[in-house]
Amino acid sequence: MMDIVTDVSEVEWKSFLDNCDEATIYHTPEWKRFLKDTFAYEPLHIFAKDDTGQITGMLPLFYIKSKLTGNRLCSTPFSHSCGLVGNQESFDSLINRSLDIFGTIDAKYIEIRDSVNSNKFQINNSFSTYILDVSKNVDVLWTELSSNARRSTRQSKKNGLSVRVTRDMDDLKSFYQINSMTKKEIGVPCHPWKFFRNLFDIFKENISLYIVEYNDEMIAGGIRIYYKDTVIAGYAASNPEFVNMRPYNILNWQTIEDSSKSNYKYYDLGRVSYDNEGLMFFKSRWGTVEKKLYYSFYPENPMSIVENRDNMKFKIATNMMKRIPMPIYQQFSNVLFKNFG
């Protein structure tokens, strides 16, 4: 008999994840705490237990309240892939309980960022990620890069760029400013400062910041997330004035080299939308394998203002954010950003 519960100890939770190959950092109690502390999302995680009291499956859920993008139940905000984990016998019970929870809250839909084997859910594929096997020798990995990637990486080094890894809060604050510049140029809200601060405070050794420097000045950076055998390219940004110096190339190669030497198995370059052909090309030329990401929705997949970029409201908001002064833009982002998890 399967029992669905909402309250488990961190010890048994982590023990279950340690023995679950499909588990990601987004399934951890730390990610639950991170999203609750940063955005005040309400966690509604559910766990399946067998008749011996052992956890056999879980589904992390967060209740996001948003007048802008709609109230929803999500597994899991700010993840590119996170769904049911455990044994198949648990999944039907967990899905049915998620539908029960949905019926008790004021939400428009459920979003599970994985494929759900249920005819009640609609499955959508709008994104891919790109995975590199970094268990190979560094020299082999270099030869398997596209000629374009090798040439661009050499050029970034010739340009005088260097990379260092840090967890220093002052460096993180500088990265926050660069990230704000990057997002403002695109015309979308930037991550709030507390997003990055809480990542580093909560995840400790599972997070690092790679920074690219030119003449001792930070011109780009990328946050790397570590869990089990995988390194994830979490968040990256560059000063628009230096983008032609190809900072992302040396940043990416240094991550690959370090991941290989540290005995990680996979480097996940992160989610990319199919309408971003330039970023798809960048991620495909590092010897990666494309992995399509399937998201499941109940009762249907809503077309949000973010997904529909031809929407006039989206275009107006984008132009406005590009033009307002940086301090106002950052304050505006602090209010808006949590709506887009």
Is the domain of 66 the same as that of 134? Answer: no
Q: What is the pLDDT of residues 113-153, one digit of tens each?
A: 999 999 999 999 999 999 999 999 999 999 999 999 999 99
Is the domain of 106 the same as that of 165? Answer: no
Residues 82, 64: Cα–Cα separation, whole Å = 16
The answer to whether residue 341 is domain-embedded is no
Question: Could you list the residue range(s) of the whole structural domain that residue 283 is in?
Answer: 129-291
The answer to whether residue 300 is domain-embedded is no
The answer to whether residue 306 is domain-embedded is no
Is the domain of 253 the same as that of 137? Answer: yes
Is the domain of 155 the same as that of 280? Answer: yes
Q: What is the pLDDT of residues 160-199, one digit of tens each?
A: 999 999 999 999 999 999 999 999 999 999 999 999 999 9
At CA 300, angle to CA 298 and CA 304, rounded to 5? 115
CATH number at residue 284: 3.40.630.30
Is the domain of 152 the same as that of 99? Answer: no
Is the domain of 189 the same as that of 256? Answer: yes
Which DSSP helix (H) or strand (E) runs through 238?
strand 230-238
Q: Which of 9, 6, 83 is nearest to 42 (CA)?
A: 6
The answer to whether residue 318 is domain-embedded is no
Q: What is the pLDDT of residues 90-107, one digit of tens each?
A: 999 999 999 999 999 999
Reported confidence tier of residue 38, pLDDT bands at 50, 70, 90: very high
Q: Answer for the pair 198, 247: CB distance below 8 angstroms, yes or no.
A: no
Is the domain of 135 the same as that of 115? Answer: no
